């Protein structure tokens, strides 16, 4: 994935993050606006902010925020946009729809099929 594409998806992730931040804290949402204007490849402060944000959100939302955080970390490592299961590039249309996607479509289907076969809680 070229740097321009990566920045595009980072902006999508940050926009998503800001949407969650607005639910609890205008101050943090504004702080994210600043971050969004100055997109860096590595940002520990952003990571810390996300961790703080996740603590304040409901379970469901904090999971989504954690997914965004993980996607941003994969971006820093340079593995963003690759399936964590098979290593193939994830289709960009899929990333547009779901910027936090960890799997390509084929692996997602397999992971979900495996979940469906297992009875009881997934953890």
Residues that bind Zn ion (CB under 5 A): 83, 85-86, 104, 107
Tokens of 3: 């740097």
Nearer to Zn ion, 33 or 89 (CB): 89
Cα-Cα-Cα-Cα dihedral sign, residues 62, 66, 71, 75 = positive
CB of 74 to Zn ion, least distance (A): 14
Nearer to Zn ion, 86 or 114 (CB): 86
Cα-Cα-Cα-Cα dihedral sign, residues 68, 70, 71, 77 = positive
Tokens of 37: 């204007």
Nearer to Zn ion, 45 or 106 (CB): 106
Task: Yes or no: say if 104 and 88 are a contact pair by the CB < 8 Å rule.
Answer: yes
CB of 81 to Zn ion, least distance (A): 12
CB of 94 to Zn ion, least distance (A): 11
């Amino acid at each position: 994935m070229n740097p321009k594409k990566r920045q595009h998806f980072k902006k999508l992730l940050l926009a998503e993050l800001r949407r969650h931040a607005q639910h609890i804290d205008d101050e943090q949402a504004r702080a994210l606006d600043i971050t969004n204007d100055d997109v860096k490849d590595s940002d520990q402060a952003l990571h810390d902010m996300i961790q703080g944000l996740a603590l304040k959100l409901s379970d469901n939302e904090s999971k989504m925020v954690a997914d965004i955080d993980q996607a941003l970390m994969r971006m820093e490592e340079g593995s963003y946009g690759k399936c964590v299961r098979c290593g193939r590039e994830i289709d960009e249309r899929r990333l547009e729809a779901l910027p936090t996607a960890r799997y390509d479509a084929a692996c997602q289907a397999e992971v979900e099929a495996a979940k469906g076969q297992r009875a009881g809680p997934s953890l």
